[in-house]
Amino acid sequence: MNETPPKQVCSLLLAGGAGTRMNGQDKGLMYWRERPMAHWVAEALNAVTTALLISANRSLEEYRLLGQVLEDSNDFTSQGPLAGMLAGLIEAKKRGFDAVLVCPCDTPGIQPEVFQRLLTAWREQPDLPVIAQCDGRSHPLHGVYPVSLAGLLEAQLRDDNRRVMVFAETAGAKILDCPDAAEAFKNRNRPEDLMS
């Protein structure tokens, strides 16, 4: 009896934002607990996958220290996190991965255990994405997305719709409740958020 090989997943760290709420500074390189936020997220992602892609549009040399940097395609420059996700899905597919595990750079409290739970839930039905939910709030940028969704995502961006939750819902995303992980999903996107 031939066993199907396990589905392969790479990580995608989203660090391409404009940092408007950080006074224009590169959010992923802002320090939280004595390290840049992106470093915390990269460490958690690296604990559960073997390859790390990074969506970034500036500070490229710094991000290259963490993984392979992807820039948005010319068609979708400055189109938000979905443009970064599209670049990640396309690159992951080229490399032979089945899906990407996505996380934004501004949730440095994220833990590998949350990612592991997302991956386990995704493997139960790998043709659909799975996203996290905590305290009734969905977190579509914390999830696992099959590379087969690249065409659907590109079509949405061409329709000028950059809403991440719309994409997740259109793709039929399953919801994984993470009731004990509120701190892991806390966005730190203002200077004052870095103090706690």
pLDDT (tens digit per residue) in 137-148: 999 999 999 999
Query: Which residues face 145 on adjacent strands?
Result: 100
Q: Does a structural domain hold residue 3?
A: no
Q: Does a structural domain hold residue 106?
A: yes
> Average model confidence (pLDDT) for the chain?
89
Q: Does a structural domain hold residue 2?
A: no
CATH number, position 160: 3.90.550.10
pTM of the entire structure?
0.92
Q: Does a structural domain hold residue 79?
A: yes
Residue with more model confidence, 189 or 21: 189
Q: Does a structural domain hold residue 13?
A: yes
Quote the number of domains for the chain.
1
Q: Which among 89, 94, 84, 5 has a CA at the least distance from the CA of 38?
A: 84
Q: Does a structural domain hold residue 147?
A: yes
Tokens of 152: 């659907």
Contacts of 184 (CB under 8 A, 6+ apart): 107, 109, 110, 111, 114, 134, 178
Q: Is 24 exposed, middle or buried (0-12, 13-18, 19+ CB in 10 A)?
A: exposed
Q: Which domain holds residue 126?
A: 9-195
